[in-house]
């Protein structure tokens, strides 16, 4: 939520300055600073300087209002669905609408002679360019969540595989709940054999489906870019896995330490045998010395070493 709130703070005075009519829509939190800014804007407005402060055309104003409402709705949706993560499932409609609204601003549907007037005055006429910033923020969040991955190609609704996955996910959650009835999760950490036994099938299916999706995704996507599945699916899987292996302690792998130790010590023992046997049995390589043809090779060196040592 932190970035949203920050944006809100940045956004409010600016909106108030530029278009006082919409200040009310910006949010219920009003601060003295905001009020001050509003008053200032009002003063300026009443001074009536149409050349310096051109009035926003009514079409543009309505576009802007729509955008503001849309972004508020999307923010609300994102915030509410932050945990457990349901962003892509819940907010894709809002997101799509917002995209359309931004698009219509950018495309500048205005009936004035300068047809780009609307886009220009809303998007690029001040330093802050808050509409652009907001839209960028939403786009980035959407990208980071990788929601496109679990939506249909035209982003209307969830894709089939995601639906299937979520079905299975709900099924396993139901299974967990069903089997846990009567006992609390935290009461007996090792006594969940019932759950493990009964839900194993669903869980394995879910896990396999997830792995399958991941593999498909990795093959289809370019390197690096869309290596992630969409955040909803990832989070759902994470929750289930945590429940399964941490809380219920269901995945207990067979640890066969004895054979591993036996095999590894056997292999580690081999080099010792090898080196010992080659040390004992292999004939040591001898070098044949060649006497150099020299006038005095030993004597001179002895001399030198005496001199210098």
Partner 1 sequence: QLTPSSFLRIGQLSNVDLNEDIHELETEVPRQRPNEIPHNEKLLSLKYESLDYDSSENQLFLEEERRINHAAFRTVEIKRWVICAMIGILTGLVACFIDIVVENLAGLKYRVVKDNIDKFTAKGGLSFSLLLWATLNASVVMVGSVIVAFIEPVAAGSGIPQIKCYLNGVKIPHVVRLKTLVIKVCGVILSVVGGLAVGKEGPMIHSGSVIAAGISQGRSTSLKRDFKIFEYFRRDTEKRDFVSAGAAAGVSAAFGAPVGGVLFSLEEGASFWNQFLTWRIFFASMISTFTLNSVLSVYHGNAWDLSSPGLINFGRFDNEKMGYTIQEIPIFIFMGVVGGILGALFNALNYWLTMFRIRYIHRPCLQVVEAMLVAAVTATVGFVMIYCSRDCQPIQGSSVAYPLQLFCADGEYNSMATAFFNTPEKSVVNLFHDPPGSYNPMTLGMFTLMYFFLACWTYGLTVSAGVFIPSLLIGAAWGRLFGISLSYLTKGSIWADPGKYALMGAAAQLGGIVRMTLSLTVIMMEATGNVTYGFPIMLVLMTAKIVGDYFVEGLYDMHIQLQSVPFLHWEAPVTSHSLTAREVMSTPVTCLRRIERVGTVVDILSDTSSNHNGFPVVESNPDTTQVAGLRGLILRSQLIVLLKHKVFVERANLNLVQRRLKLKDFRDAYPRFPPIQSIHVSQDERECMIDLSEFMNPSPYTVPQEASLPRVFKLFRALGLRHLVVVDNRNEVVGMVTRKDLARYRLGKEGLEELSLAQT
| Surface-to-core class of residue 66, CB atoms within 10 Å of its CB (0-12 exposed, 13-18 middle, 19+ buried) | middle
Indicate the burial class of 147 (C-beta count within 10 angstroms; 0-12, 13-18, 19 or more): buried
What is the Cα–Cα distance from 30 to 23, expressed in whole angstroms? 10
The residue count of the chain comes to 309
> Which of 5, 29, 80, 242 is close enough to bind partner 1 by CB under 8 A?
242
CA separation for the pair 62, 68 (Å, rounded): 10
Q: Which residue(s) pair with 151 in the sheet?
A: 158
Residue 300 is a binding residue for partner 1 (CB under 8 A): yes
Binding segment for partner 1 (CB under 8 A), chosen from 22-30, 81-89, 124-132, 218-226, is 218-226
Least spacing, CB of residue 262 vs partner 1, in Å: 7
Residue 129 binds partner 1, judged by CB under 8 A:
no
Q: Which is nearer to partner 1, 80 or 246 (CB)?
A: 246
- Choose the binding region for partner 1 from 15-23, 34-42, 53-61, 281-289 (rule: CB under 8 A): 281-289
Quote the DSSP letter at residue 25.
G
The span from the CA of 8 to the CA of 30, in Å, is 11
d(CA 106, CA 104) in angstroms, rounded, equals: 5
- Smaller CB distance to partner 1: residue 112 or 297? 297
Quick check: 83 binds partner 1 (CB under 8 A)?
no
255: contact with partner 1 by CB under 8 A: yes
Collapsed DSSP state (helix, strand, coil) of residue 308: helix
Which pair of structure tokens corresponds to residue 250? 């269901």
Residue 45 found at the interface with partner 1 (CB under 8 A):
no
- Compute CA 13 distance to the chain's CA centroid, rounded to the nearest angstrom: 31
Q: Tell me how far, at minimum, the Cβ of 298 lies from partner 1, in Å.
A: 5
- Give the shortest CB-257-to-partner 1 separation in angstroms: 8
Contact 194, 182 (CB under 8 A): no
Tell whether residue 219 is a contact of partner 1 (CB under 8 A).
Answer: no
User: From the CB of 140, what's the least distance to partner 1, in Å?
Assistant: 17
Does position 308 interact with partner 1 (CB under 8 A)? The reply is yes
Chain centre distance of CA 64: 30
Select 43 or 306, whichever has its Cβ closest to partner 1: 306
Which of 33, 35, 76, 275 touches partner 1 by CB under 8 A? 275
CA angle (60 as vertex; 57, 66 as ends), nearest 5? 140
What gap in Å lies between CA 31 and CA 9, rounded to an integer?
Answer: 10
Half-sphere exposure for 97 (CA within 13 Å, toward CB): 16
Site for partner 1 in 158-217 (CB under 8 A): 207
What are the backbone dihedrals phi and psi of residue 91, each rounded to the nearest 5 degrees, phi first? -110, 5
Candidates 9-17, 18-26, 80-88, 247-255; binding stretch for partner 1 (CB under 8 A): 247-255
292 binds partner 1, rule: CB under 8 A:
yes
By the rule CB under 8 A, 301 interacts with partner 1: yes
304 binds partner 1 (CB under 8 A): yes
Compute the least distance from the CB of residue 304 to partner 1, in Å.
5
Q: Which residues bind partner 1 (CB under 8 A)?
A: 207, 218, 222-224, 227-228, 237-238, 241-242, 244-246, 251, 253-256, 259-260, 262-264, 267-268, 270-271, 274-275, 278-279, 282, 284-301, 303-305, 307-309
């Amino acid at each position: 939520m932190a970035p949203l709130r920050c944006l809100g703070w940045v956004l409010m005075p600016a909106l108030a300055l530029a278009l006082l009519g919409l200040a009310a829509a910006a949010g219920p939190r009003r601060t003295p600073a905001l009020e001050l800014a509003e008053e200032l804007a009002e003063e300026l407005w009443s001074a009536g300087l149409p050349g310096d402060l051109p009035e926003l055309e009514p079409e543009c104003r309505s576009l802007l209002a729509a955008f503001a409402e849309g972004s508020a709705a999307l923010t609300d949706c994102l915030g509410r669905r932050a945990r457990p993560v349901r962003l892509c499932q819940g907010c894709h409609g809002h997101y799509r609408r917002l995209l359309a609204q931004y698009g219509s601003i950018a495309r500048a549907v205005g009936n004035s002679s300068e047809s780009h007037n609307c886009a220009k005055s809303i998007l690029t006429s001040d330093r802050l360019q808050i509409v652009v910033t907001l839209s960028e923020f939403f786009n980035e969040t959407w990208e980071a969540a990788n929601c496109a991955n679990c939506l249909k190609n035209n982003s209307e609704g969830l894709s089939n595989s995601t639906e299937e996955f979520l079905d299975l996910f709900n099924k396993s959650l139901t299974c967990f709940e069903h089997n846990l009835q009567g006992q609390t999760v935290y009461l007996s950490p090792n006594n969940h054999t019932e759950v493990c036994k009964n839900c194993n099938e669903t869980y394995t299916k879910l896990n396999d489906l997830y792995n399958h999706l991941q593999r498909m995704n990795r093959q289809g996507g370019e390197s690096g870019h869309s290596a992630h599945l969409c955040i909803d699916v990832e989070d759902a899987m994470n929750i289930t896995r945590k429940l399964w292996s941490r809380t219920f302690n269901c995945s207990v792998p067979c640890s066969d330490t004895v054979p591993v130790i036996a095999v590894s010590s056997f292999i580690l023992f081999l080099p010792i045998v090898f080196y010992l046997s080659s040390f004992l049995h292999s004939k040591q390589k001898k070098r044949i010395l060649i006497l150099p043809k020299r006038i005095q090779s030993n004597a001179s060196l002895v001399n030198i070493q005496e001199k210098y040592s």
